[in-house]
Amino acid sequence: MDRTRKYQIKPLSGRDCCGRFFFVPVCKVRRLRWPFYGEMSPAIQEICTVKDEIVPSLRYRKSPMIDPVESAINTTWIDSLGGIVLEAAGKRLGARRSFARHWQLYLVVTPPLLFFIIFKYYPMLNAVLAFKDYYVTKGIWGSPWVGFHNFRLFFENPVFGTIVKNTLTLSFYLLLAGFPVPILLALMLNEVRAQKFKRFVQLVTFAPYFISTVVMVSIIMLFLAPRLGFVNVFMNHLGLESVNFLGNPNMFTSIYVWSDIWQTAGYSAVIYLAALAGVDPTLYEAAKVDGASRFQKIWNVDLPGILPTISIILILNVGNVMAIGFEKVYLLQNKLNIASSEIIATYVYQIGLLNANYSFATAVGLFNSVINLVLLFVVNAMARRFLKSSIW
């Protein structure tokens, strides 16, 4: 006897979670006389076949339920012949219903969203200052329009080449020297089996990240002071002459870069350690069976596993290559090293705040942001093409 005749056959149509239209005939249960649970019966397999193919949008699971269950996201149907639930993605929730259901998640995301709107996006409206001759008495919108006059003044300024060169030198030096260090630190810590030693190293390398910029610069000055600095005192004991490290323009870049690496390497390594924790353990077992050395495991298992993370962080770092930190450079800057320490950020501070030339300073800042945006798009396109990974 064909038991499928006892059940009403009704089609199910609509759109799945990706918005694609589907039409699937399914079996809607009246009664459950044989509550056994196994693989999908051939009858239901035939019912759920569309154009000789099992519909991939359907999901099958065993369930003791008797009646169909209607939910906001999925329409559930029960196959009495095999005790299998067929779920087909229904229409998306409306905005109001979604907010009522997940209001806690919306509440969590609201503070950072407001932060970006108030402090990041709203100030972008004032970028129009770059194209105006701003007067405080007339306001932003009442000041006369001058077009690209402020940009021409910046490009024709004698300091243009110097500050752009210093900014790029400092940024690329920091990128080339500082980017590999957290990766190497994470790979080495991942190979450490002594957990106490591993946690100790993580603590020692991570702690400097919480030191404020002012305290960090004070520590640098304490160590590198010309007369009473720890480094010069040690050099004097060795019979060497004192060196004015902070007064030498050729040393400023290295002092800035390596102090920044010391402060941030441990924090950045945590990101790569988290990525290494997600590498499939079976890959290590397979490499061990193949007789791979520790270096071969790192090269063939660890690095490919964290390559997407590396590419994303590299894209973001290159996108900020012109946005070098202002505070640390300004605090380390003096009249002796200004030839190599004057960058775009400090120049904008001097022109905009100290000299009150707001239009010109806005034009310089806008130029800086546009260069960062162009670099971000270029590097993201290259990463998407060669590494198959990008931020969008």
Residue that is written with structure tokens 């520590």 in the block: 219
Q: Of all residues in the chain, what percent carry a pLDDT higher than 90?
A: 48
Q: What is the mean pLDDT of residues 338-355?
A: 90
pLDDT of the residue at 353: 84
More confident residue, 369 or 48: 369
* 266 neighbors 202 (Cβ within 8 angstroms): yes
- Residues 84 and 212: their CA atoms lie apart, in Å, by 60
Q: What is the mean pLDDT of residues 191-208?
A: 91
Lowest mean pLDDT: which of 38-42, 131-135, 168-172, 308-312?
A: 38-42
* 253 neighbors 333 (Cβ within 8 angstroms): no
| Ordered structural domains, the chain, with CATH | 81-130 (no CATH), 148-387 (1.10.3720.10)
pLDDT in tens, 69-120: 333 333 333 333 333 333 333 344 467 787 788 889 889 999 999 999 999 8
Contact residues for 31 (Cβ-Cβ < 8 A; gap 6+): 6, 66, 80
Q: What is the mean pLDDT of residues 140-164?
A: 92
pLDDT at 62 over 90: no
pLDDT of the residue at 169: 93
pLDDT of the residue at 322: 86
Among residues 46, 31, 44, 40, the alpha carbon closest in space to that of 60 is found at 40
Q: What is the mean pLDDT of residues 352-366?
A: 89
- What is the Cβ-side half-sphere exposure of residue 244, based on CA atoms within 13 angstroms? 7
pLDDT in tens, 226-245: 888 899 999 999 989 989 99
